[in-house]
Structure 1
Amino acid sequence: MNTHSPTSTSTPDPAPASGPAPAHVPAPQPTLQGPLTRRHLLGLGAATATTLGLAACGVSPQQTGQGSPEGTIRFAWWGNDSRQKIFTEFAGGFDGGTVKVEPSEYSGYGDRLSVQAAGKNLPDVLWMPANLALTYATRGALYDLGTLPEGTIDYSAFDPQVVESWKLGGKQYGPVYSQYSTCTQVDTTAMAAVGIQDLPDDESWTWDDLSTLAADYARAKGEGNWGIANQSTFYQHAHLWIRQQGAEVFTPDGKIGFDVDVLGSWFAWWQKATDAGGVMPTQISAGKTQWTQTGGKTALYLVQLNQFQDNASFSGENELQLVKSPVAAGAAPDYQFKYYTRLCSGANTTSPELAGQFINFSLNDPSNADVVGLASGIPSNPEIVAAIKAAADPTAMKILEMTDRIDEQPMRARPEPPVGGANWQTLVEKAGDDIFNGGVAIDAAVQEGIATLQAALDKG
């Protein structure tokens, strides 16, 4: 499933939940329902542009939504067509009330949330991207689920310390629904076809080993083929690189936790690997760097575990293997981390208990195993994971086994991105584009990106 798409644009911050009224009340914004794409956003016209502009300025328009009708809640999530069908079916199994579904492509999801938050019209239940949770909570856009009647959300299947760790600012705004880690995907069928049978030991291999393997495959396969596409703009993997250097994207107190040298070394690795012949040049990939776009011309891919089922389906008879991510020399041993998808409720909800009941259903109902499976990553509920594992096909078992291997490693805490922190994704994407398509020097591109990110943090 294409989830946190590494090549998508970053998501705007929401407007504060309260603030000075605008001098001129904008026209009511259109109701956003059904699948949302960039085309839909463009079609919203002046009303959307006005609202987004107010959100960017930190001004909250007057509320345009009055909540869902009694006994009805709105549920929003992101994903491709397959995931939209899966979660529409899943939501249909909730018998506590009527669920009005609002799926979206990931590329437009953040824009939709920003518009809805500005209009105080967020869905009753929504998936929250990892980079935005603290921003929405800080700005008062989310409902404090800890104020619901005791037992509305049953956390008995979860480790109490884990549940406590999900809190933002001491409040339970978004229990974690699913999670995923990053690793590397190898098309072993393609490798074997060119005589490469033995892969490096993934308990000890390095980024230099990956570069060598990519170049070896490209040479053996011949002209028009490469070991791997240029994934320098995939911010999740850049995040892993930063943590391997002993740094963080953000510090616990919300400051930038890396410098030009640390992030610059990420892009320098991609430049060196490209020069060695193993990486598909960006002029050829032209922004199409997902496995489903380059898998026929490459054999390696930096993957998110929640993408692997789609990738395996795309590759058909070719066998895909998951291996751990390469490790930088002298890497901090606790560099591994997870990205979360949280279940939140808009502060504007008029049906908080019903929303809480649906969140409880999403976290605990056994249909997660049968209907959803690993479509959104690894469920946070260990009982659901056990049920999936009991009936897992070979592809699902690869995901579960790799997750278990990663979980055996120590993991230091991953500080939540602060208000304005979603611009970290923009930094990586723009810097990579400037470097590999615009000819900008690595240090200059990264310096500019850090300055822009700092300005976003200062703005708050």
Structure 2
Amino acid sequence: MFRSRRLAAGIALTASLGLLAGCASDAPEGAGTPDPDEEVTLDFAFWGNDVRAEMYDEAIAAFNEEHPNITVNSTFLAWDEYWEKRQTEAAGRDLPDVFQMDMTYVRQYSENGLLLDLTPYLGGVIATDGYEQNVLDIAKVGDATAGMPISTNALGMFQNPMLADEVGAELFPGGDWDDYDQWLSDVRDAANEAGVQAWGGSNPTGFIQTFELALRSEGKSVFTEDGEVGFTKEELADFWNRGVTLRDDDVVTPQQRLEELSPMSGFDAAEQLSEITWDNFGAGYLANLGEPYTELELVAPPVTDEGAKDLYMKAGMLMSAAQTTDHPEAAAAFIDFMVNSPEAGAIFGTNRGMPASETQRDGIELDAIAQQILDYEASIADRLGDPPPVPIVGYGSVEAKFKALGQELGFGTITVDAAVDQLFAEIEVIVGQ
């Protein structure tokens, strides 16, 4: 649902920003701390709901205890309306002083000179000691820091141990993709013998994230830093052909069944033992599964090449400042508080995702799911590599096309060669805009 919304908003944003030229704006020289005697007003915008708004009100009040001279006026909207509003403001170069940013739009806004480069404030006004370097680099566009990560997550694999018991199958013990394919086959055999409608998982080749894992194991990415395609037609065809084999062998959840279960997946409908997705999905899965499924396992996805740095930390959301702000030091101080302070951590908990900053995590009271995510991310430290280049403008539509073609391949209504040609045609349109 969010992907389709992002696609629609992204198309509109591209049209409105297309006339703007330039790259990320130079940051002010000699960036310092805000003057405590200067009365400052900042406009701040975020997407969310009434619950998040109350949290931000409380966090702003805590911020004002440290900075009583900085007044923060906050506004919020739902996702669609939020980006429509930012689109209008961007066209008039009148963005709020500080606002929540999504990775989908970081490059677009930064390369159009709309975002303040936060680099001069790092290590000063904005503390960085709670961040790993690869997390700090998530929103770097060229030499500019376009935003500070509020939260992060990583790709993982959820497994349902209770469903595995019902099927009479073992959970996936780890290994490479060939091992995973064999496990899918073993689960299907066990389910047939037990008379249970269940599969090991859905077709893993239907999503761009698993293709990205394969590319990253070879030191590649979906798109390069320069916005060029980072893979060949042959590599994509090999990847999708593997999925066709899984489909034909009937060892993954049939596409028709997935359509029938939508908007739930086969996993949170208790018909799949595993699901490869972002590690912050656990709470939602448990809520949908309900009794008797009270616990899930979270493990690393299959590895392509042992020792590969194929996993990475992804920003759930970021905090950015407008290049046009009249108060960059105050904006930086506000960003620092919202991404680093234990006080803000205690207020938000995991409402905005798992805090990216360790100092902010120190302030939250972890529930079982949050602790599971932290333990998982610690367990994959050896597989974590540098984040991929910031997504190209229009990446959301490429991702949506990849998923749509994966569904067609799941139904068998398109050949792999035709699907490859269609994706590359989509990329040509996006890159050529």
Q: TM-score range by the shorter chain?
A: 0.7 to 0.9
Structure 2 match to 1:125? 98
Contact 2:6 2:396 in 1 (8 A): no
Alpha-carbon separation, structure 2, partners of 1:326 and 1:171: 34
1:122 deviates by: 3.4
Which residue in the other structure is 1:315 paired with?
Answer: 289
C-alpha distance in structure 2 between counterparts of 1:259 and 1:416, whole Å = 20
Contact 1:6 1:235 in 2 (8 A): no
Q: Which residue of 2 aligns with 1:85?
A: 51
1:164/1:279 CA distance change after superposition, 3 Å:
closer
Counterparts of residues 141-220 of structure 1 (less than 5 Å): 141-146=114-119, 151-158=124-131, 163=136, 166-196=139-169, 198-202=170-174, 206-216=179-189, 218-220=191-193
Whether 1:363 aligns to 2:335 is no
Structure 1 241/129 Cα, relative in aligned 2: closer, same or farther at 3 Å?
farther
* Correspondence for 1:39: none
1:33-44 matches, within 5 Å, as: none
Q: Match of 2:109?
A: 136
What is the CA distance between 1:136 and its match in structure 2? Answer: 1.5
Number of aligned residue pairs: 403
Structure 1 residue aligned with 2:361: 385
Output the CA distance in 1 between the equivalents of 2:214 and 2:296. 23
Matching residue of 1:55? 16
Distance 1:399 1:150, change over 3 A: closer
- The change in CA–CA distance for 1:118 and 1:181 in structure 2 (over 3 A counts) is same
Quote the residue 2:301 is aligned against.
Answer: 325
Deviations 1:61-83 (A, max 9, x none): xxxxxxxxx735232236xx6xx
Report how far residue 217 of structure 1 moved.
5.5
1:415 pairs with one of 378, 389, 398: 389
Verify: 1:336 aligned to 2:311, yes or no. Answer: yes
Contact 1:13–1:136, Cα closer than 8 Å, also in 2: no
Does the aligned pair in 2 maintain the 1:13–1:55 contact within 8 Å? no
Q: Which residue of 1 aligns with 2:371?
A: 397
* More off after superposition, 424-433 vs 286-295: 286-295
How far the C-alpha of 1:418 sits from its partner, in A, is 3.2
Once residues 201 and 148 of structure 1 are traced to their aligned partners in structure 2, the CA distance between those partners, rounded to angstroms, is 45
Going by fraction, where is helix more abundant, 1 or 2?
A: 2
> Counterpart in 2 of 1:33?
none
C-alpha distance in 1, partners of 2:185/2:265?
20
Equivalent in the alignment of 1:374: 350
CA distance 1:292–1:71, shift in 2 (3 Å): farther
- Is 2:7 the counterpart of 1:10? yes
What is the DSSP-based 3-state SS (H/G/I as helix, E as strand, rest coil) of the residue aligned with 1:155? coil
- Cα separation, partners in 2 of 1:384 and 1:209, compared to 1, 3 Å: farther
C-alpha RMSD over aligned residues: 3.6
The 2-side partners of 1:148 and 1:404 are apart by 28
Percent identity, please.
Answer: 22
- Structure 2 counterpart of 1:194, which letter? V
**TM-score w.r.t. length of structure 2:** 0.79
Structure 1 residue 101: deviation in Å?
3.3
CA distance in structure 2 between the aligned counterparts of 1:377 and 1:202, rounded to whole angstroms? 27
Shift, 1:448, TM fit: 1.7
Given that 2:200 and 2:274 are in contact with CA atoms closer than 8 Å, whether structure 1 keeps it comes out as yes
Alpha carbons 1:13, 1:114 under 8 Å: kept: no
SS of equivalent to 1:279: coil
Q: 1:448 — aligned with what?
A: 422
Instruction: Please give the alpha-carbon distance, in whole angstroms, between the structure 1 residues aligned to 2:377 and 2:13.
Output: 38
2-side partners of 1:311 and 1:191: how far apart?
Answer: 16
| Alignment correspondent of 1:25 | none
1:98 is paired with a residue whose SS is strand
**Deviation per residue, 1:88-133 (Å, 9 max, x gap):** 414432133334232434x776555444423434343333322331
In structure 2, do the counterparts of structure 1 residues 246 and 423 end up closer, same or farther at CA, with 3 Å as the change threshold? same
Q: Provide the residue aligned with 1:254 in structure 2.
A: 227
SS of 1:93's equivalent in the other structure is helix
**Aligned AA (2:354):** I
Query: Is the contact made by 1:430 and 1:449 (CA closer than 8 Å) also made in structure 2?
Result: no
Cα deviation for residue 307 of structure 1 reads: 1.4
Distance 2:246 2:82 in 1: 34
- For residues 406 and 420 of structure 1, the distance between their equivalents in structure 2, rounded to whole angstroms, comes to 30
Q: Deviations over 1:49-71 (max 9, x none)?
A: xx768427x235xxxxxxxxx73
Superimposed CA distance per residue, residues 118-163 of structure 1 (whole angstroms, 9 cap, x where no aligned partner):
3434343333322331222111121223466994323343457864
CA distance, structure 2, for counterparts of residue 7 and residue 207 of structure 1? 30
The 1:249/1:407 distance shift into structure 2, 3 A limit, reads: same
- 8 A Cα contact 1:183 1:323, kept in partner: yes
Query: How far does residue 336 in structure 1 lie from its aligned partner after superposition?
Result: 1.5
Q: Counterpart in 2 of 1:48? A: none
- Counterparts of 1:431-442 in structure 2, within 5 Å, are 431-437=405-411, 439-442=413-416
Correspondence for 2:30:
none
Report SS of the residue matched to 2:212. Answer: helix
Deviation at 1:262, TM superposition (A): 2.4
Q: Does the 8 A contact of 2:3 with 2:400 survive in 1? A: no
Residues 345-377 of structure 1: CA distance to partner in whole angstroms, max 9, x if unpaired? 233445544433331121112134333333444
CA offset at residue 420 of structure 1? 4.0
- Which of 425-434 and 282-291 deviates more? 282-291
Are the aligned partners of 1:178 and 1:342 in contact in 2 as well (CA < 8 Å)? yes
Q: Aligned residue for 1:47?
A: none
Q: Is the 8 A contact 1:72 1:98 kept in 2?
A: yes
Residue aligned with 1:378, SS: coil
1:318-357 superposed Cα distances (whole Å, 9 cap, x missing partner): 12111110123x4671212221232112334455444333
C-alpha distance in structure 2 between counterparts of 1:294 and 1:7, whole Å: 21
Q: Which amino acid aligns with 1:202?
A: G
With over 3 angstroms needed to count, the CA separation of the structure-2 counterparts of 1:404 and 1:387, relative to structure 1, is farther
